[in-house]
Amino acid sequence: MSDQPGTARHISRHSAIVERLGSDITSGKLATGLVLRSEDMEQQYEVTRSVLREGLRVLETLGMVTSRRSVGVSIRPQAEWNVFDPLVVRWRLNGSGRAAQLRSLTELRSAVEPLAAKLAATRIAAEDARQLLELASGLEITAEAGDLAAFLPLDIQFHALILKASGNEMLLNLESAIGEVLTGRTQHGLMPDRPEPEPLRLHLEVARAVVASEPAAAYAAMQRIVDIAGQEMDAILDSGSDPK
């Protein structure tokens, strides 16, 4: 099989090296300030020069490395990373810094999502309003069945639709990051085995308030949702039983 640029095998290897390097950087295995020679990285990660080069380009766009011909590959500090990119979010959630990443993202949700719900209550389109109510209903049905695998994509769609309906492109740009934290909570066992009744009721309350053009009610219900999510997560993390 060909390993030339553009082939399936090449793309697969390119994705794999991006994943490995990104994970190694976010975990601290490749520490901030470390400078590596490309030749050494090719051997360590068992990739061709072209695959490594393309992988490093991706990481450069994320602010995680700097690659210079006469210097080598430098690992950049976390403060320079694109921390909203879903790849960076996922790598951090999968690593030793999971608790800090979850807490920072939950704080972001608390600042962003209530505002998005408030704006959505004055701007949502009719088609989106219908979908929002359907998603809230679907969340109740899948929760009652204890089907977290079906619950998660509906939950992601619900919160993404609120961001979209806000009509603010800056808020919409956070869709992927918030989707990753919702996914991460489930994948790492930081969700109750069965969603609690109050958050479910509040999702329906948000939907109804948005559809009824009641911004204050939409804001308050969404604020309560993210507060409960943070409390549930903190209880698990503070107990020291964070699943890996």
Terminal C-alpha separation, the chain: 37
Q: Which residues form the domain of 23? A: 8-80
Least confident of 28-42, 104-118, 157-171, 225-239: 225-239
Q: How confident is the model at residue 1 (pLDDT cuts 50, 70, 90)?
A: very low
Asked whether residue 243 is assigned to any structural domain, the reply reads no
Q: How confident is the model at residue 240 (pLDDT cuts 50, 70, 90)?
A: low
Single residue among 80, 112, 129 that ends a domain in this structure: 80
Average pLDDT over residues 161-167: 98
Position 10 scores a pLDDT of: 52
User: Is residue 101 located within the same domain as residue 173?
Assistant: yes
User: Is residue 49 located within the same domain as residue 123?
Assistant: no
- Inter-CA distances, 232 with 23, 25, 106, 189, Å: 26, 29, 11, 11
Position 184 scores a pLDDT of: 82
Single residue among 25, 47, 80 that ends a domain in this structure: 80
User: Is residue 33 located within the same domain as residue 99?
Assistant: no
Residue 244 has pLDDT above 90, yes or no: no
pTM: 0.83
User: Is residue 112 located within the same domain as residue 204?
Assistant: yes
User: Is residue 135 located within the same domain as residue 220?
Assistant: yes
